[in-house]
Each structure stands twice: as structure tokens, then as C-alpha cells.
Amino acid sequence: MNHYFPPTYRLSLTAGEHSARHIRRIVRSLLDEWELAQLTDAVELGVTELVANVVRHVPDRRCVLLLLRSAAGVRVEVADHCPQPPCVPAELSPEAEGGRGLVLLDAVVDKWGVGAAGSGGKTVWFECGV
């Protein structure tokens, strides 16, 4: 029996301290349905980092999460209304309490970047291939 699962999932939310846990569940379910379970660890980590950045750095914590399935894998986008781009520190001291999220993201995804969002904000995205 063939099921059709749409290749796009969109969620608008106000991110809170526990949002990443719920979003990881959604991501895991979608990747299973899309037969991309092998990408679960990387995509969950990436989503967790991007949502954590919204919680920490976007004043109203509002964002839109978009997951796009493609023949090559999956693309995840998190858009918000804050124009300030995320910064990757040149160096991290062992005592630093923050700044590791995008370094971790870079280590587990194929590529990532930042683009302008239509609302004057930004979209941070990453892609993971099969």
C-alpha cells in the first residue's frame, strides 16, 4: 500500500525552552515517513541548534520552521523577523558557555547558510543528503 506524504512541512511558532524537544519528535516522524530515517540524528541536532538560537537571540521568539524533502535528502529552514545574522566565533575558549551551536551544525550537515527573509528578518537553513 503506497502512502503519499507531502514533501513539505511548515510550522509557525513562538519558540520556548521546550520547543526543540517537540520539534525533534515531528522531525523524526517526518523523516520516517519520507524514508530518510538515516538523517534523523543530523537533522534533529540541526533543528535543535536553530530553534535554540531563536530562543536566545530573537526578541519575540517567533519563527517559521520549514522542512523540504528532495530527491537528494532534506532541507530545513528557520525564518524569523530579526535581521541580526548568527555569528560563528573565530575562536571558542573551553570556558565559553555559548557559541558552539553553529560549529556543531557545520560538523553534522552537508551545508548551511543564512539568507534574507521577506519580513526584513533572516532565514537560517541547512541541508542533509542521503
Concatenated DSSP letters for 60-128? Answer: T-EEEEEEEEETTEEEEEEEES--PPP---S---TT-SS--HHHHHHHHSSEEEEEE-TTSSEEEEEEE
11 bridge partner residues: 65
Angle separating helix axes 40-57 and 19-33, nearest 10 degrees:
150
Question: What confidence tens digit (pLDDT) does each residue in 110-126 have?
Answer: 999 999 887 789 999 99
Instruction: Tell me the pLDDT of the chain averaged across its residues.
Output: 87
Distance CA 130, CA 110 (A): 10
What gap in Å lies between CA 57 and CA 23, rounded to an integer?
18
pTM of the model: 0.86
- Gyration radius from the chain CA atoms: 15
Please, what sign has the CA dihedral across residues 10, 15, 19, 20? positive
Strand bridging mode 73-80 / 111-116: unpaired
pLDDT (tens digit per residue) in 68-93: 998 899 999 999 999 988 876 666 55
The model's pLDDT over 38-77, given as tens digits with 9 standing for 90+, comes to 999 999 999 999 999 999 999 999 999 999 998 899 999 9
In the structure grid, which three cell numbers stand for residue 83, read together?
535581521
